[in-house]
Amino acid sequence: MRPSSSPDPTTPATPVTPSGASDPAPGRRAVLGAAAAAAAAPALLALSTPASAAPAGHRPPHPRPRPRPRRLAAGGDLGPNVLVFDPSTPDIQATLDEVFRKQEKAQFDTGRYALFFKPGTYHGLNAQIGFYTSIAGLGLSPDDTTINGDVTVDAGWFDGNATQNFWRSAENLALVPVSGTNRWAVAQAAPFRRMHVRGGLDLEPAGYGWASGGYIADSRIDGQVGPYSQQQWYTRDSAIGSWLNGVWNMVFSGVEGAPAQSFPDPPYTTLNTTPVSREKPFLYLSGSEYHVFLPEKRTDARGVSWGNGTPRGTSLPLTRFYVAHPGDSAATLNQALTQGLNLLLTPGIYHVNEPLRVDRANTVVLGLGYATLVPDNGATAVKVADVDGVRLAGFLVDAGPVGSATLLEVGPAGASKDHSANPTTVQDVFVRIGGAGAGRATTSMVINSRHTIVDHTWLWRADHGTGVGWETNRADYGLVVNGDDVLATGLFVEHFNKYDVQWNGQRGRTIFFQNEKAYDAPNQAAIQNGSIKGYAAYKVGDRVTSHEGWGLGSYCFYNVDETIVQHHGFAAPNTPGVKFHDLLVVSLGGAGQYERVINDIGAPTSGTSTVPSTVVSYP
């Protein structure tokens, strides 16, 4: 049940400081290889009906004031698809197995689950994680919640091919793997955050099948990380014992124990630190009460944020959140935001017929269990004002059948305020057009606000599933960046009809980019870009004078017309301030070819040989 009243939203967040401190302180796919019951939202009181006309000769009565909608209550129940365990919970394994049975093959189904473990020690568990399933500890540190066992992702459901192991996550747990090594064989949109593996971590499926991932952040892996067949991977602000190998594109920033810079052979791109980072908000227990922890911003970060005592940041009690449930309307969610509440989206599907409008600085919108927003009637799902410190994290936006101009906007057009001290972060926010059904959108994500950090996103125009076709799930642009000083760490954008990334802002930076051009282009003419053959995967605007990227890859697999030629994967002004390091393009089995890597530089891809063409430095 939700409390009967909400607190004063101006109550400050509780600062959390480190122990002893005094300062206060989110590949290749098929070619290679039920909705939660919702607690009813409080109904808004209907507006009073107009007074009836007065009889002739009588003065009409004074009109009654229209009552305001009842204030929404904050806090409350997390809903039926948030499953919370403690060490004394009976039959935990049976519950885990039942959720996995439902979700193992449920790539485009409506089930959504969050599995939470209270602090303590658990023995003999193997939590197999399927689609739209998140597993997490409820401590302030991963080491508060230890599983003597495994958190496993494998690919038995897809004949050993892990390239479609999307939309699942593991966070804030310590693992002691039974065999000494945990298996996490995932593809896109499957973050491994804030984890401590007291052993090794294998990123490939059993049998060394295909794999196309992935992302690790703020994690400590005591042993060896073995990517084996993983085509690409990004690891940020972590500590590892060692790293075994690389296939095409392995990128590290701020990682203790990372291999030395050596691209393209081995294909390691290594930055000593991450320029700016701020870890994803997370739910935790303080005594018996839920809070959301908000990690603070780090500059030139290296290693985990939680290693020495309590992590730095602030804490918000659940009574500062409207706990949303599927069935809540956009009007209800916007009323909560207007009241000064944050949003906690419990697992399920939310249809919104107008944007969620995040107009207040420091607002948190946090999804659990891959909560999914579906904009109806061509709406934009989320619009953020040009304000400081908004945190969007942990949800999926699924385009609706009526085309939307945009699906998510950070800042209005022309936004220009300086947010360097307190940037907006977009973390584990994923966008999908088609696959689960008909969907259309001109542009998936637009970043207009300065200094925004986009930390791990997958923007995907579906190449398989239902509602898929060159014009059926039309989506011209993936990410458009108009704001200056924007940083992307872990950027996955695939299959858009035109530019996958269009970057117009000054001083933008990207660390790691993974892309596949649209498989389903019907012919060369369909992708012709003026005099240029095809739209670049990553295009820096012609007026940009400062931009930098590290570890970027684009792949083509034109399986409708294998004769299609893509002139280049990357396009940018030829100016000293625009710099790229460690670029690659690759033709998958010869289905389509690249003539160059960036602009007119780089060797063409080679026939049917799936071997990257690389450029180490541009210009």
What are the catalytic residues?
A: 516
Query: If you count them, how many residues does the chain have?
Result: 619
Peptide bond into 60 cis (omega under 30): no
HEC-encoded secondary structure of 308-369: CCCCCEEEEEHHHEEEECCCCCHHHHHHHHHCCCEEEECCCEEEECCCEEECCCCCEEEEEE
How far apart, in whole angstroms, are the C-alpha atoms of residue 211 and residue 129? 16
In degrees rounded to 5, what are phi and psi of residue 319?
-70, 0
Residue type, position 269, single letter = T
Contacts of residue 132, defined as CB under 8 A and 6 or more positions apart, other chains included, come to: 103, 106, 109, 111, 112, 113, 167, 168, 347, 369, 370
How far apart, in whole angstroms, are the C-alpha atoms of residue 141 and residue 137? 8
The sheet carrying 14-16 orders its strands as: 14-16, 313-317, 289-295, 282-286
Burial state string for 303-321 with b = 16 or more CB within 10 A and e = fewer than 16: bbbbeeebbbbbbbbbbbb
How far apart, in whole angstroms, are the C-alpha atoms of residue 223 and residue 200? 4
Query: 19, exposed or middle or buried, with CB in 10 Å at 0-12, 13-18, 19+?
Result: exposed
Identify any residues that bridge with 235 across adjacent strands, giving them in sequence order. Answer: 216, 252
DSSP SS3 for 156: helix
Q: What is the CA radius of gyration of the chain?
A: 24
DSSP SS3 for 30: helix
DSSP SS3 for 189: coil
* Contact present, 84 and 118 (Cβ < 8 Å): yes
How far apart, in whole angstroms, are the C-alpha atoms of residue 163 and residue 152? 16
Residue type, position 16, single letter = V
The CA distances from residue 66 to 45, 47, 69, 487, in Å, are 10, 6, 9, 47
How far apart, in whole angstroms, are the C-alpha atoms of residue 318 and residue 341? 10
> And the tokens for 504?
């117009």
Peptide bond into 214 cis (omega under 30): yes
The CA distances from residue 61 to 52, 188, 312, in Å, are 9, 64, 60
